[in-house]
Structure 1
Amino acid sequence: MTAGETTFDVLNGLGMLLICFVTLYPIWYVLVNAFNEGQDAMRGGIYWWPRVFSIESFEAVFKNSGIMTAMGVTVAKTLIGTVVHVLFTAMVAYALSRRELIGRKFYMYVGTITMFFSGGLIPTFLLIRDLHMLDSFLVYIIPAMFSFFDLIIFLAFFRDIPDALDEAARIDGAGDLSIFVKIVLPVSLPVLATIALFHGVYQWNDFFTGIIYINNVDLQPIQTYLFRVVAQSSSSQMIASMPGGIGKSVTSQSVKLATMVVTTLPIVVAYPFLQKYFVKGLMIGAVKG
């Protein structure tokens, strides 16, 4: 290895460390301040470790019924929405992967157009209203059932499935539904996990749907709840509505930070276990084999 290559490796490593630090430090800063006593944190100067360790802010979060209800809505819509989205998109993709489907190219053209152009927010709101999905849990599920981008990923995988599997199943008397359920889905676990990860992260992080279509506070997800806490500075009112037993050191800022940690932690913990599917999903269809 030449001196130039060594210098490049060193600079490259330092650059990557700098990028990692810039990316991760804001998360660490929020975590450290969330675990610090609220009144003490208001003095500032906390950068690396809690100065006065305290979990009272997290106690305030978990004792608030509004936050726990919002968390339940988020978990429910993430699980149900992800399962429905994956199965429905996979069914449409399997149908479009069949060469004998009449009008297949037309459907693909129409679907491609929707990736670049949409009706806009106002027509979408009017449609949701006319479908009677305002203030309904279904607004989280039905509009997000299908994604043409995810369909393309499914198509790339389904086209690589050997035709011999399909032919053997039809010889045994299997129909399209049986082939899809008993053959296509079991061999498609990598792409199913990839799309589930994509959509699960979207469902967990989505706050806009709750802001536009939900007025009932019992149906708002945790991300919408957090948005309203931060944007409307309502955390002081939230503290005032807490049951007894919350320490005086809890502040509105400490509750905001603790809420951020609680809402972000589940998806951050789950992501490393699904990362291999995420990487594999990006390569689906890139190499024939």
Structure 2
Amino acid sequence: MRRDWDSRLFDTFNITLLMLFMVVILVPLWNVVISSFSSSRALAEGGFIFWPSELSLENYRAVFRDDSIGQSFFISVAKTVIGVVTHVFFCAMVGYGLSKSNVRGRKFYVTMGVITMFFSGGMIPTYLLIKSLGLLNSFWVYIIPALLSFYDVIILMNFFRNVPGSLEESAKIDGAGDWRVFLSIFIPLSMPAMATIAMFNGVSQWNDFMTTKLYVTNEALYPLQMKLYEIIVQSQTQSMQNIGGSVVIETATKGVQLATIVITTLPIVVIYPLLQRYFISGMMLGAVKE
């Protein structure tokens, strides 16, 4: 009886706490989304907007009025997809090699990799390196510098160590080489870890605009985030140039900003449920019976 009462009390407290946490997250999110569909007059009233008194798509029209938005969206999708695939595969290759204790110089490579996690060359040396590699105003400036993250390598390296050695030994007895073992055994079994890394790297790639701001001046290579950043800056500039700074202009600028937040967040919100099933643990249970 005591245990049942304690369990019910814990469940009640846990559910209440999670419900409050959910409300804290969903209420501001709902306010941002619904405010992006509000007219300038509704935004000018101020305060929290649960449902706008006047619906309008003018904020989204202002965002999509630029004909280059489609090209920017394609660049964002291309750099995110290619960047995630190459990043995860490259980190998996390095992690697979460093997970083997018989690799020569393994401790030296790991030490050098850990140092890069705490120290970097800085903005100017990095810019000079990118320039010397001929990556300025190139699509590959989004891909090549982001190929390796030693933090992700450590995650995959530790994950590979937990793969039963019997699987690799049995595959090599059947004549499989290192590439076959890596692609046919380690990659499928490490999908939860790789999906998690892909999710975080994909969010980083999708939201990144500093790379464009530093290394790209060709507007044809602007991703969606950079293009929307320019739209916000232009709308703020128009607001500042307006004589007297009317409330209508200011609220219109706020509406454009809210619309850009929704547009940039929506793809990640849609993709996340598709990858969530890979976040489960215990995928290797039952793979080997010893």
Alpha carbons 2:32, 2:258 under 8 Å: kept: yes
The percent of aligned pairs where both chains have the same amino acid is 48
Alpha carbons 1:96, 1:104 under 8 Å: kept: yes
Structure 1 alignment gaps of length 5 or more: 238-249, 282-288
Alpha carbons 2:232, 2:253 under 8 Å: kept: no
How far off is 1:280 after superposition? 4.5
Cα 1:115–1:179 change in 2 (3 A) is same
Letter of the structure 1 residue corresponding to residue 121 of structure 2: G
Number of the residue aligned with 2:82: 80
How far off is 1:112 after superposition? 0.9
Q: Counterpart of 1:122 in 2: which secondary structure?
A: helix
Question: Which one of the candidate residues 24, 27, 37 is aligned to 2:26?
Answer: 24
In 1, distance between residues paired with 2:6 and 2:164? Answer: 48
Alpha carbons 1:86, 1:195 under 8 Å: kept: yes
Question: Which one of the candidate residues 71, 74, 82 is aligned to 2:73?
Answer: 71
Root-mean-square deviation (CA, aligned residues, Å) is 2.9
Alpha carbons 1:93, 1:155 under 8 Å: kept: yes
Structure 2 alignment gaps of length 5 or more: 240-250, 283-289
How far off is 1:43 after superposition? 3.2
Number of the residue aligned with 2:55: 53
Letter of the structure 2 residue corresponding to residue 273 of structure 1: L
In 1, distance between residues paired with 2:12 and 2:196? Answer: 34
Cα 1:280–1:147 change in 2 (3 A) is farther
Number of the residue aligned with 1:254: 255
Letter of the structure 2 residue corresponding to residue 173 of structure 1: G
Alpha carbons 1:235, 1:256 under 8 Å: kept: no
Range with greater deviation from structure 2 (211-220 or 58-67): 58-67
- The answer to whether residue 270 in structure 2 is matched with residue 269 in structure 1 is yes
In 2, distance between residues paired with 1:234 and 1:22? Answer: 29
Q: Counterpart of 1:83 in 2: which secondary structure?
A: helix
Question: Which one of the candidate residues 183, 199, 202 is aligned to 1:200?
Answer: 202
Q: Counterpart of 1:251 in 2: which secondary structure?
A: helix
Give me the TM-score of the superposition, normalised by structure 1: 0.82
Question: Which one of the candidate residues 162, 169, 172 is aligned to 1:170?
Answer: 172
In 2, distance between residues paired with 1:84 and 1:8? Answer: 45
Number of the residue aligned with 1:246: none
Give me the TM-score of the superposition, normalised by structure 2: 0.82
Question: Which one of the candidate residues 77, 101, 104 is aligned to 2:103?
Answer: 101
Cα 1:232–1:155 change in 2 (3 A) is same
Range with greater deviation from structure 2 (196-205 or 2-11): 2-11
How far off is 1:51 after superposition? 1.2
Cα 1:12–1:160 change in 2 (3 A) is closer
How far off is 1:227 after superposition? 2.9
How far off is 1:13 after superposition? 5.3
Q: Any idea what the Cα deviations from partners look like across 1:228-274, whole Å, max 9, x if unmatched?
A: 3334546859xxxxxxxxxxxx9333222222211111101222332
